[in-house]
Amino acid sequence: MICLPFAGGGAGFYRGWKDLPDGSPDVVPLQLPGREELFLDEPFRDAVQAGERLATEVAEKTRGYRRVALFGHSLGAVLAYEIARHLDRAGTGRPARLFVSGSPGPWAGRSDRATGLDDDAFLGQVEAFAGYKHEALEDPDMRELLLPLLRADVEMHENYRPASRDRLGIPITSLRGSEDELVSREQAEQWREATAADFEVCEIPGHHMYLADDPAPLLAAITRTLG
């Protein structure tokens, strides 16, 4: 299962998922430029272009696997969808399933924006969007280092518009925290319009960042779905 991070996050978040339940898929985090070991690389600013580039990387990383799934949360859901779209169109290396978490459908757009605000207002708006605040942002030096990346991620997410309305031939599971005040059940169900294959909505106990509290219920649900 290829995992895409949320805005400001990196592959390290998923590397912490250890002691997986029996039958769980291998978790393969996908690192994005501008963070962790790729800190010096220029971050993506366009999700459609990012999906095209990352699809090539996914195809290389998953050689030899019989089945591959994609998972992404919030911004990661958008990126996972764009990767799936490219792989579906190519007809090779098509994922067995796409798991999109904590995200409205790809055509929903966003009316409230953080891009262009001063630093304090920007961080306040991002915290309201995400329902989560990275502890590193409390440190002034780390905040200075992380802000450009976070701004690039948020701009990419806020400006995202899918290049096509064609439905995928890939099954989709849309996940949300059962107490998520940012993404409603109705918004999670918008992903139904993105696939001509099987679709389901799955609610996990918790709020928007339920996967940061305890990944076990999420991984158990994914394992059940993949059979």
- Does position 76 have pLDDT exceeding 80, yes or no? yes
- Count other Cβ atoms within 10 Å, centred on residue 110: 14
Provide the 8-state DSSP code for 18. Answer: -
- What would the two tokens of residue 96 be? 């067995």
Can you give the pLDDT at residue 131?
Answer: 58
The pTM for the full model equals: 0.92
pLDDT band at 75 (very low <50, low <70, confident <90, very high): very high
pLDDT in tens, 192-204: 999 999 999 999 9
Can you give the pLDDT at residue 115?
Answer: 78
- For residue 86, what are the β-bridge partners? none
Percent of the chain with pLDDT over 70: 96
- What would the two tokens of residue 35 be? 């963070």
pLDDT in tens, 9-54: 899 999 888 778 778 889 999 999 998 889 889 999 999 999 999 9
CA distances from 185 to 8, 26, 51, 73, 161 (A): 25, 28, 26, 15, 22
User: What 3-state class would DSSP assign to 2?
Assistant: strand
CA distances from 153 to 76, 126, 182 (A): 10, 11, 18
CA distances from 89 to 57, 75, 94, 119 (A): 16, 21, 9, 40
pLDDT in tens, 95-109: 999 999 999 999 987
- For residue 97, what are the β-bridge partners? 69
Show Cβ contacts of residue 201 under 8 Å, excluding neighbours closer than 6 positions: 173, 174, 175, 176, 185, 188, 189
> What's the average model confidence in pLDDT over 74-97?
92
Half-sphere exposure in the Cβ direction for 58 (13 Å, CA) = 34
Q: Domains of the chain (ranges plus CATH)? A: 2-226 (3.40.50.1820)
pLDDT in tens, 127-184: 776 656 666 677 777 778 788 888 899 999 989 999 889 999 999 999 999 999 989 9
- What would the two tokens of residue 14 be? 């998923």
CA 99, 132, 2: angle at the middle one, nearest 5?
25
